[in-house]
Structure 1
Amino acid sequence: MTVDARHAIHSDRPAKTAWQRGRLLALGSVLVAALLLGHELVPNRWGNLGSLVQTFLPWLGLAVPLGILAALVRRSALAILVVLLPLVAWIWVFLPQIRPPEPAPADLTVVQHNASDTNTDVAGTAEVLLAAEPDVVTLTEVSRETAEQYTRAFGEALPHHETQGTVGVWSRYPLRDATPVDIRPEGVEATWDRCLRVVIRREDAAVTLFVAHLPSVRFGSGGFETGLRNASALQLANAVAAEESEAVLVAGDLNAVLADDAIAPLTNLVTAPTTGFELTYPATFPVVQIDHVLARGATVTETRALPRTPSDHLPILARIDTPSS
């Protein structure tokens, strides 16, 4: 006997049917579906709610199994039926990402990794990165000391290197025109140095590479605090927009998912593959991809996360089809 039936024995109201129970569950499913389909309409007021929703958008899919379980417990046919709405909405939004990638050419392999400023196992980290046979490795959160250690660890495999502040590039190909790029948000001290522009010089063509580490986001008294990151992303976008090279890459820890409209000034200029969920942070249980390799005038044909290093981020590998190919 259900709770509603037992309650009906002691009241004048008839027991609710399976189509009458679970109305709140059904309403919740409708709201989740609306959030999935209309996430771009969620404003960034109230503690940057829009950025928060877009950062964790794929995880709204958990509402489907949880909704089904709750509907079964509640014995609600209505809730079981309506829970299909967020399922359909999730598939509609993420279908491009869950499709198997189509084989595509690539002539340049880039590995990006936030190596972590607390990571002391340089040799072990370099071993993981070199196992992917990269042409270029970009690192963030490196010090002058660890940068020298990475140079020795990469050795002849990546003999060319440039560093700037806490970011660096190691390459199979010669590098030239290394230039610091100021992406400091207003009010941040001058010692904050997290962006480098360099040209990868290949025999048939050159590719301009920006390596950047945008400010972290935090949960604080103001909600999802993204102001510094957004300001830095705008500075980086301005630098990329002013770049005259045909092929441009942006690699780094952007502390943002690509779906976050708050960094649209940058992501409108450079693109990434539309397939796959290559989550990179935190390394113990990745829930978001905030480490990226993006391109303009070239095509990132594949990205995939690499095995874990002692860092709190997973490395990300990108295969790129450049104009020379």
Structure 2
Amino acid sequence: MTETARRRPGRPTPGWLGRSRPAGPDLLIALVLVVLGVVGGARWLDSTWQPVVVLQTAGPLVALGLLGLLGVTALLRRWWMLLPVGAAVAVAASIALPSWFAETSPDAPLDLTVMAVNLSFGRADAEQVADAVRAEAVDVLVATEVTPEALAALDEAGLDQWFIEEVGETRPESYTGTMVFSRFPATETTGEDPVDAHTPSLQPEVVVDVTGTAVRVKAVHVPAPLAGDTVEWRAALRALATWRDRQEGSEPVLLAGDFNASRGHPAFRHTAEGFDDAHQVAGLGWVRTWPFVGQRVPPYIQLDHLLSRGLTVVEAGSTAIHGTDHAIVWATYALPETESTTP
């Protein structure tokens, strides 16, 4: 006489290798995967809806979350869930890994060093800014959110002895003042440029004569994508892309400053097309320039960039200083080689 086995209510169903596997962990893994996928997928939405703009900054956190989820999935031996989780990790890796591999030319000559700093309403520690300038032997400094008091403090720290040229204006009790300092002769070419119509901040443009080679430098300070300002934020980034397209010929070009955008934003990626992002070329990986100085959220995103065309990136880096929520960014470049002619 045979006895038919009856499955008890609530008993887990057999899994691989005949083992019982409760469905709860699979559902939880799937839910976390969907959430991370939605947040990560936001990078392809060219939107001005602020929640989307904010989500687009979370790309590195999504990559870390997916790696953690992959580890948990393997640890729990949810083998069939490894396929979708692994596929998501592969997509994230294809986006993140290129920034960890350097494409610089370390043997190239060090012809030009450019630094950008957001002084945070002029509150940045002027002595530390000056120390960073001297430590990196900076040739061109782009400073945003410069107040008259901040300029006086920088001069007192010795920058008026370091640089021979100053272009731009300070603005009292405001974030709109921008200055470009240079150790080389510099000619302002700003004019009435429509690229500056979408930001209240000054964005000076100068041509720097670097030992006979003209390098065009555009200071950048895009408005932050705060609630109600995201349309102008995207318009300012698109205007910079238009400015980029107007730069014809072989003249080296640099965009330097606070873009208030990361590579997770489609508008920034469009602006950076055809340009070298110094920190990516240097293979520095997850660069974080904001927010610093006692913020509740630890630094997790790069908003400050150095974009160049016609120059060779030799090295790059960033430095956190007191008084500002932005880290300093800097890069060293080699000028394009010029053909010598014999008489």
Normalising by the smaller structure, the TM-score range is 0.7 to 0.9
CA distance in structure 1 between the aligned counterparts of 2:205 and 2:260, rounded to whole angstroms: 19
Q: Is 1:195 aligned with 2:192?
A: no
What is the letter of the counterpart of residue 9 of structure 2?
D
Aligned to 2:28: 25
Superposition deviation, residue 297 in structure 1: 2.1
Q: Secondary structure at the match of 1:195?
A: coil
* Deviates most, 69-78 or 134-143: 69-78
Give yes or no for contact 2:104–2:315 (8 Å, CA) kept in 1. Answer: no
> How many residue pairs end up in the alignment?
308
Pick aligned residue for 2:115 from 111, 120, 132: 111
Match of 2:147 among 138, 143, 147: 143
**In 2, Cα distance between the equivalents of 1:36 and 1:301?**
34
Structure 1 window deviating more from structure 2 (292-301 vs 145-154): it is 145-154
1:262 and 2:259 aligned = no
Which ranges of structure 1 fall in alignment gaps of 5 or more residues? 1-8
Q: Which residue of 2 aligns with 1:280?
A: 289
Deviation at 1:46, TM superposition (A): 5.7
> Where do 5+ consecutive residues of structure 2 fail to align?
1-5, 171-176, 339-343
Superposition pairs of residues 49-68 of structure 1, within 5 angstroms:
49=52, 51-68=53-70
In structure 2, how many angstroms separate the alpha carbons of the residues matched to 1:302 and 1:120? 25
Q: Please state if 1:170 is matched with 2:181.
A: yes
Residue aligned with 1:12, SS: coil
Q: Counterparts of 1:214-233 in structure 2 under 5 Å?
A: 214-218=222-226, 220=227, 226-233=230-237
Aligned-pair CA distance for 1:135: 1.4
Identity, % of aligned pairs?
Answer: 23
SS in 2 for 1:56: helix
1:132 is aligned to 136
Counterpart amino acid of residue 87 in structure 2: L
Please tell me whether residue 242 in structure 1 is matched to residue 246 in structure 2. Answer: yes
Which residue of the other structure, out of 120, 123, 127, is the alignment partner of 2:127?
Answer: 123
Q: Distance in 1 between matches of 2:102 and 2:333?
A: 18
Alpha carbons of structure 1 residues 77 and 55: separation in structure 2 relative to 1, 3 Å: same
State the AA in 1 paired with 2:26. Answer: R
Deviation at 1:252, TM superposition (A): 0.8
Amino acid in structure 2 at the alignment position of 1:294: L
Query: What residue in structure 2 maps to residue 3 of structure 1?
Result: none
Counterpart AA for 1:155: D
Counterpart among 162, 165, 168 of residue 160 in structure 1? 165
User: Please, what TM-score do these two structures have when normalized by structure 1?
Assistant: 0.80
Would the aligned equivalents of 2:290 and 2:299 in 1 still touch at CA under 8 Å? yes
The one-letter code sitting in structure 2 at the alignment partner of 1:99 is F
Give CA deviations for 1:178-204 in whole Å, capped at 9, x if unaligned.
425454456x7xxx3421001111222
Q: Structure 1: how far apart are the matches of 2:104 and 2:152?
A: 39
Aligned residue in 2 for 1:312? 325
Amino acid at match of 1:197: E
* Corresponding residue for residue 15 of structure 1: 12
Offset of residue 324 of structure 1: 4.6
Q: Secondary structure at the match of 1:228?
A: helix
Rounded to whole Å, the distance in 2 between the matches of 1:30 and 1:100 is: 31
2:173 match: none
Equivalence for 1:294 = 307
Structure-1 separation of matches of 2:71 and 2:248: 55
Shift of 1:143: 1.6
Q: Could you tell me how far apart the structure 2 residues matched to 1:231 and 1:176 are?
A: 27
* 1:239–1:100 Cα change, 3 Å: closer
1:268 Cα deviation from its structure 2 partner = 2.2
CA contact (8 A) 1:116 1:312 kept: yes
Q: Is 2:276 the partner of 1:271?
A: yes
TM-score by length of 2: 0.76
> Which residue pairs with 1:5 in the alignment?
none
Q: How much is the aligned-residue C-alpha RMSD, in angstroms?
A: 3.3
Counterpart of 2:253, as a letter, is V
- Are residues 143 and 46 of structure 1, via their aligned partners in 2, closer, same or farther at CA, if it must alter by over 3 Å? closer
